[in-house]
Amino acid sequence: MSVAWGDYGDYATDIFTREAENIIKKHNDKKPLFLYLAHLAVHSANTYSPLQAPQDAVDKHKYIKDDNRRTFGGMLYKLDESVGKVVAALQARNMLQDSIIVFTTDNGGPAAGFNQNAASNWPLRGVKDTLWEGGVRGAGLIWSPRLGHQGRVYKGLMAVHDWLPTLHSAAGGQPGDLDTMDGMDMWPSLLANKPSPRNIVLHNIDNQRLISAIRVGDFKLLRGSNYNGAWNSWYGPSGRDSKSPAYSIKNVRSSPVTSALANIGVKLPTDEIILKLRDEVSLKCNASTKTQTCDPTWQVCLFNITSDPCEQNNLLFNFPSVVKVILTSEMLVLVVYVKIF
């Protein structure tokens, strides 16, 4: 790929999409293809114009009164459009029926003006570059005809470094092909809808900023806070209020992805199942259940992330034995880290 001087002034999301389509179009379908498409959207850009999108995309969201959120909506619209074009390109080359498509993120959104952006992690706590769930929990979708039990929500614990061994396994690779690594092969669990083999996720141990967080099973231990606690709150909007358009199954059914899937004989589930899946992936946290909030700038926080994903209730004094076990796990991980590096 050469420098795209001729694309000066074009929208980056469109440029990346065209390049992905071109790669798929020219690919020798007798050979496997690994396509990693990392869009700039919906990141903020230059300080003089941090959020940018084509005006026609922005105008589709006139119901959003906040200027930054409306532009963010345009950026997200173009990202969604890109996904449809890539899937359609795979179908046009008869590659879709033997593809594995992953749509995911590497961190939570920069909400409420963080990084001059207008994302939303609602109802989760925190923003990008914090160790709250709003900073470390990422949405993910995986689709493939190879997957059994289609149309379901997988709630097993998975970390970003699990993708390498998982996709390597899905492509037919053998465990011995890879060096020893932290990542775990999730493919068998995803195939059969079985519990995750992962029980621990070390979110971070940062000795410079004096912050750390680790999850063991249902529990997460958090110590220290970035930015002196300036981003320890919950940031919206939720996008589910009465002023927002209702979720449109009609738009889903008329999308390019749906059309591409139909061309290989894959039908969407019923409206009832679609709404059920949407409800199942929607996190719900009741603000009235806050009993003991936690400020990690001066105290250790313990949360049951399974029942309290919004990190509203500090259980530090309720489960001292759990804290001891987690601290032991954290120290073991740190020792291994030090030995490796």
In terms of Cα–Cα distance, which of 111, 108, 133, 152 is closest to 281? 152
Query: Left, alpha or beta for 140 (phi > 0: left; psi -120 to 50: alpha)?
Result: beta
Looking at residue 125, its pLDDT comes to: 95
**Per-residue pLDDT reduced to its tens digit, 80-121:** 999 999 999 999 999 999 999 999 998 999 999 999 999 999
Looking at residue 128, its pLDDT comes to: 95
Lowest mean pLDDT among 4-13, 208-217, 218-227, 274-283: 4-13
Could you tell me what percent of the chain has a pLDDT over 70? Answer: 94
**Per-residue pLDDT reduced to its tens digit, 315-333:** 988 888 878 777 766 555 4
Alpha helices (runs of H) in the chain, residue ranges in sequence order:
12-26, 55-58, 67-92, 133-136, 163-170, 187-192, 249-253, 256-262, 271-281, 320-340
Looking at residue 163, its pLDDT comes to: 95
Q: What is the CATH number of domain 5-200+234-290?
A: 3.40.720.10
Mean pLDDT of 143-152: 88
What average pLDDT does the structure give for the chain?
89
Domain ranges of the chain: 5-200+234-290
**Per-residue pLDDT reduced to its tens digit, 31-57:** 999 999 999 999 998 888 899 999 999
Distances (CA, A) of 274 to 4, 10, 29, 151, 252: 40, 36, 33, 8, 10
**Per-residue pLDDT reduced to its tens digit, 235-294:** 988 888 777 888 999 999 999 999 999 999 999 999 999 999 999 999 888 766 666 788
Looking at residue 329, its pLDDT comes to: 60
Mean pLDDT of 154-182: 91
pLDDT-based confidence at 139, cuts 50/70/90?
A: confident
